[in-house]
């Protein structure tokens, strides 16, 4: 088997750009976070851990490509 034919799987997790609904500040968070993420501007909760993917309460702007 040639080395060019080996497929590398994409990770299921990524970094997400989230905008706070309250103050509009943007924050980059990990999609599978294990802790509570708060907005740096107003302290509003942006994401909470759920065991796998985080529950995002802010507005998701987009994902950051690797």
Give the C-alpha separation, 40 to 19, whole Å. Answer: 11
**Ligand-binding site membership of 42 (annotated):** yes
What lies within 8 Å, CB to CB, of 49 at 6+ separation is 33, 34, 35, 36, 55
Characterise 4 by phi-psi region: left (phi > 0), alpha (psi -120 to 50), beta (else): alpha
Q: Is 54 annotated as a binding residue?
A: no
Residue 31 annotated as binding site: no
Binding residues for Zn(2+) are 20, 23, 39, 42
Binding residues are 20, 23, 39, 42
């Amino acid at each position: 088997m040639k080395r060019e034919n080996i497929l590398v799987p994409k990770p299921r997790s990524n970094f997400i750009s989230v905008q706070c609904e309250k103050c509009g500040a943007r924050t980059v968070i990990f999609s599978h976070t294990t802790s509570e993420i708060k907005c740096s501007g107003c302290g509003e909760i942006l994401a909470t851990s759920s065991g796998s993917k985080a529950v995002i309460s802010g507005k998701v702007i987009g994902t950051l490509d690797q």
